[in-house]
Structure 1
Amino acid sequence: MTGRHIKIFATGGTIAGKAGSATGREYTPGQIGVEELLAEVARLDLPARLFGTQFASIGSEDIGPALWHQLHRACVSASAEDDCLGIIITHGTDTAEETAFLLDQTLPTAKPVILVGAMRPADAVGSDGMRNFANAVRVAADAEAAGRGVLLVMSDHIFAARDVRKARTEGVDAFRGFPRGPVGHVTPTSLEWFGAPWRTGEALRLEFHQNMPKVIILYAYAGMPGEDVAAAVRSGAKGLVLAGFGQGNAPAEVRSALAQAARTGVPVVRASRVDQGLVDRELDDDANGFIAARALGPPKARVLLQLLLANGISDPVRMQAAFDRR
């Protein structure tokens, strides 16, 4: 393989889905293989050579550690190729933020790695997949994409992995960013960045581990008993993330059970079930041994806690520092 190119790693998702009807609601993800996708893309006259590999043909609700390991290994290998401009991963939207964040924390960030998906299957009226893909190619081929970590491209927006989350169940404009909104705007014919690269020259953050510790998210609800915490610990959880009320709050019984878990060496991160907002440290966090998730929602807080534990980082002070700088 010679010449400057972009690697495409396909995993399935709605971008590769078919409904069999232009107006049907139900569809099956991952029906279009990467070769068929690239054949369709070839007609768009995009400014880059593309080479594809099919890793999976599934909805992203079924993506987990095994596929993360494959993608991580492939991204490391591709980024070491001098002629590789960047990497695009086609991915379902349900867990795209988790895959993006995991790779962002564990990959060298010099070359762009772009996740892209769709909210409508390929044969639906108003399908957004091809436009999103064309936009992702434009981003991956742009020299100024380097040093920005892993990105997600959807609906003409470019999001950083740290910020992005799926905020709507339908509609093509389904993703939001917090604390930053989009970091750039892209169309098939234009690209504008809203700031300078923020990860230039930064070393690898955390080593990837295929077998990461079990971390459970506990979703707070009115009347939640402390037994929910004890049950999670008994199940083998090595860490807990509270998707709490407001700024990471929970009933007194639950907070007491979480503090007990932290005293026995099970790290506890307070996050929020609210759509956006910071979860800052509280006065009781030192006494309880809790970690504040800051800007990370529960899914990303879980990924980061897994990575920290896998890298031998269990001290609450060091863990809090990691959450503060994400």
Structure 2
Amino acid sequence: MAQPCIRILATGGTIAGTSGSATGKAYRAGQIGIGALLEEARALGLGMACEGRQIAAIGSQDIGWAEWDALHRECSEALADEGICGVVITHGTDTAEETAFLLDRTLPTSKPIVLTGAMRPADALGSDGMRNLATALRVAADTGAAGRGVLVAMGDQVFAARDVRKAATQGPEAFRGYPRGSIAAVSPSSLEWFGPPARSGEAALFDWPAALPRVDVIYAAAAMDRVSVDAALAAGANGIVLAGLGQGNAPRGVLEALGEAVARGVAVVRSSRTDQGQVDRNVEVDDDDYGFVAARALNPAKSRILLQLLLASGVSDPASIQATYDN
């Protein structure tokens, strides 16, 4: 019987970064190509075949539509290829949660798709990149990983794209999950799921759009005025996500400006700048009166992605948008 074959899609990031010093802090992302990554992956002795393609060689702060479009196309091709049992995407950690969530909403759950990266460059003392790659390959080769949506494997933990976030600026255990924590514990030699797949046989939740509409994120702060709202509208934003105080609040003048934006046909979603927690409707802010949407458990980054997908799909009324966030 042929070994399972995993397709690795490389985008750069710290996992492909080098610093030239085992103890230095500064480094350059995306310096190691897919050929070298494949050579190291095959040397791990994990008992699976690997092939790879280079999508980009950048830090994930520069990930955008071109890279997302290429990743979606490559993942779709792999899902349709009977010779491929799963996909691993090597990715910078800064925006891994956004890429994972976007792909999670727009791909079926028939085969594992796993993002991984590193918090330390490849030549740093204690680099975590190859261990994370090994664990991601372990997850992608496991039949029990299908039906869970897109996954992120970091720090010997597996997270669902819906829950994962980068919660620390450094350290190999920088990723957390909310409202669920990790859904599996993984090492290069073992994998333990904490529950059964919840999305088996699920089709893509959204069609892949031709483009994503402009949605801006506005960060709330004490004593701020409405200038950032007006700037977003002047730039042509189709939607605005408020990274609000506490339960998605903001100074009264900002809320009023956002209410005016809704009256002009711009979708407004309230999320929170706090690390985790629910943003519920009509708690401190009268969402019904303003026409706002409450982000519930989604943070500002994922709220933006979901709103872009909804608007690209022609969904723009607050009630329908709210129903999607609720679900």
The answer to whether the superposition gives a TM-score over 0.5 is: yes
Map of 1:22 onto structure 2: 22
Map of 2:263 onto structure 1: 263
Once residues 70 and 210 of structure 2 are traced to their aligned partners in structure 1, the CA distance between those partners, rounded to angstroms, is 9
Map of 1:202 onto structure 2: 202
Matched, 1:288 2:290: yes
Q: Is the CA contact 1:3–1:83 (under 8 Å) kept in the aligned structure 2?
A: no
SS at match of 2:85: strand
Given the superposition, is the C-alpha separation of residues 46 and 3 from structure 1 closer, same or farther in structure 2, using an over 3 Å criterion? Answer: closer
Question: How far is the alpha carbon of 1:3 from its aligned partner?
Answer: 6.2
Structure 1 runs, 4 residues or longer, greater than 6 Å off: none
Q: Is the CA contact 2:14–2:121 (under 8 Å) kept in the aligned structure 1?
A: yes
Once residues 185 and 172 of structure 2 are traced to their aligned partners in structure 1, the CA distance between those partners, rounded to angstroms, is 15
Q: Is the CA contact 2:154–2:173 (under 8 Å) kept in the aligned structure 1?
A: yes
2:304 aligned partner, one-letter code: R
Once residues 130 and 57 of structure 1 are traced to their aligned partners in structure 2, the CA distance between those partners, rounded to angstroms, is 17
Question: How far is the alpha carbon of 1:66 from its aligned partner?
Answer: 0.9
Specify every segment of 5 or more residues in structure 1 that has no aligned partner in the other structure, as ranges.
none
Q: Within 5 Å, give how 1:1-326 maps onto structure 2.
A: 4-282=4-282, 284-325=286-327
Question: How far is the alpha carbon of 1:229 from its aligned partner?
Answer: 1.0
Once residues 3 and 127 of structure 2 are traced to their aligned partners in structure 1, the CA distance between those partners, rounded to angstroms, is 32
Given the superposition, is the C-alpha separation of residues 177 and 208 from structure 1 closer, same or farther in structure 2, using an over 3 Å criterion? Answer: same
2:291 aligned partner, one-letter code: G
Identical pairs, percent: 60
2:133 aligned partner, one-letter code: F
Once residues 152 and 95 of structure 2 are traced to their aligned partners in structure 1, the CA distance between those partners, rounded to angstroms, is 12
Q: Is the CA contact 1:47–1:141 (under 8 Å) kept in the aligned structure 2?
A: no
Question: How far is the alpha carbon of 1:209 from its aligned partner?
Answer: 1.4
TM-score by length of structure 1 reads 0.98
Once residues 75 and 3 of structure 1 are traced to their aligned partners in structure 2, the CA distance between those partners, rounded to angstroms, is 20
Question: How far is the alpha carbon of 1:210 from its aligned partner?
Answer: 3.6
Q: Is the CA contact 2:4–2:141 (under 8 Å) kept in the aligned structure 1?
A: no
Q: Is the CA contact 2:6–2:51 (under 8 Å) kept in the aligned structure 1?
A: yes
Once residues 227 and 16 of structure 1 are traced to their aligned partners in structure 2, the CA distance between those partners, rounded to angstroms, is 40
Once residues 231 and 131 of structure 1 are traced to their aligned partners in structure 2, the CA distance between those partners, rounded to angstroms, is 44
Taking only aligned residues, the RMSD between alpha carbons, in angstroms, comes to 1.0
Q: Is the CA contact 2:22–2:124 (under 8 Å) kept in the aligned structure 1?
A: yes
Question: How far is the alpha carbon of 1:201 from its aligned partner?
Answer: 2.2
SS at match of 2:199: coil
